[in-house]
Amino acid sequence: MELRTLPKPAQAFVALGANLDDPADQVERAFPELARLPQTQLRARSSLYLTKPVGYTDQPDFINAVALIETTLSPRQLLDQLLAIEQRHGRRREFRNAPRTLDLDLLLYDHLVMHEPGLTLPHPRMHERAFVLAPLLEIAPDCIIPGAGAAATALHRTDASDLRKLAPIPTTLSACP
């Protein structure tokens, strides 16, 4: 009998955001959907944060959070699954930074650095966004962003004055991949 080794799961961080149709509920409903993805387990989730919109500012405030998952899906397969969840939540891409029912961004996938059409890892602007960094640091306080350094240092360089934590943190981890 031949023994086959299973692929080692990758640790991936996913940003969640919404500002339409009861955004806190949209984000909360997305966590179990992440947990139900094939070959994937939800390992940690951050608190919810209320944040001002970035870019196009004539829209409602956002609810943001970050999840840590372990998965044997490839980065592209995972992205496709995230886009499918967005579609189920009624996401429409009318213009850049438009209001949305749910936005799921793949932030980090292990220590992978890659760029291909429609997928860049790490997420190219994550180190500039307090609404990503603060919830990320809740569940991975020692996180290092490949090419950008410590997430904690990046957070200190951002304007987090409009960031407001809404819900207590349910789980934490000590490091990111």
Among the listed residues 91, 93, 96, 159, the single catalytic one is: 91
> Of the listed 100, 129, 159, 162, which one is catalytic?
100
Please name the amino acid found at residue 66.
V
Query: Which is the catalytic residue, given 43, 61, 105, 162?
Result: 105
> Would you call 100 a catalytic residue per the annotation?
yes
Q: Given 103, 142, 159, 162, which residue is catalytic?
A: 103
CA distances from 148 to 12, 136, 144, 165 (A): 17, 14, 8, 25
* Residue 22 bears catalytic tag: no
As a three-state string, the secondary structure of 63-127 is EEEEEEEEECCCHHHHHHHHHHHHHHCCCCCCCCCCCCCCEEEEEEECCCCEEECCEEECCCCHH
Active site residue 105: yes
Q: How far apart are CA 130 and CA 151, in angstroms?
A: 10
Catalytic, 159? Answer no
Positions marked catalytic: 91, 100, 103, 105
